[in-house]
């Protein structure tokens, strides 16, 4: 990952695992992060870890299986940041995410839950 300073990443599944690792690494590299997860405690921990790097951190409780809520949050984040660069998906309906984050993009197969 190069050149993330001053950029913005919206990361779902940020409360633990790969989503948390990605969020912290991007924050370390100067990227602002908009974090979401269904796990409030894990989300708060990730936000605290990211905040240590002095970047803007926002959090939102979100179950990505709720397509209507995901669409609404994607629109709000898109308006607030004007750019959504990165998406980490775990236990999600990938096609719904793709419609929310990248209208017109070609659908990909659902993500397999490895947990």
Domain membership flag for residue 106 = no
Q: Would you give the end-to-end CA distance of the chain in angstroms?
A: 25
**pLDDT score, position 82:** 60
Please give the share of the chain, as a percent, with pLDDT higher than 70.
Answer: 66
* 15-51 pLDDT, tens digit each: 999 999 999 999 999 999 999 999 999 999 999 999 9
Output the average pLDDT for the chain. Answer: 77
Domain membership flag for residue 115 = no
What's the pLDDT band for 115 if we cut at 50, 70, 90? very low
Domain membership flag for residue 2 = no
Our count of domains for the chain comes to: 1
Distance (Å, whole) CA 52 – CA 54: 6
**Tokens standing for 103?**
């209208």
pTM of the model: 0.67
Domain membership flag for residue 97 = yes
**pLDDT score, position 24:** 96
Domain membership flag for residue 45 = yes
Residue environment code for 96-112, b if the CB has 16+ CB neighbours within 10 A, otherwise e = bbbbbbeeeeeeeeeee
CATH code for the domain of 89: 3.40.50.720
**pLDDT score, position 104:** 52
Residue environment code for 39-72, b if the CB has 16+ CB neighbours within 10 A, otherwise e = eeebbeebbebbeebebebebbebebeeeebbee
Domain that holds residue 82: 8-101
* 62-100 pLDDT, tens digit each: 887 888 887 787 777 776 666 544 455 554 444 454 455
């Amino acid at each position: 990952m190069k050149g993330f300073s001053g950029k913005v990443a919206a990361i779902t599944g940020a409360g633990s695992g790969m989503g948390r690792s990605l969020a912290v690494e991007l924050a370390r590299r100067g990227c602002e992060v908009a974090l979401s997860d269904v796990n409030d405690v894990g989300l708060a921990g990730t936000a605290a870890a990211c905040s240590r790097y002095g970047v803007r951190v926002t959090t939102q409780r979100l179950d990505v299986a709720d397509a209507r809520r995901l669409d609404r949050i994607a629109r709000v984040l898109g308006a607030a940041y004007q750019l959504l660069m990165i998406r980490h998906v775990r236990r999600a309906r990938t096609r719904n995410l793709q419609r929310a984050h990248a209208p017109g993009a070609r659908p990909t197969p659902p993500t397999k839950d490895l947990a």
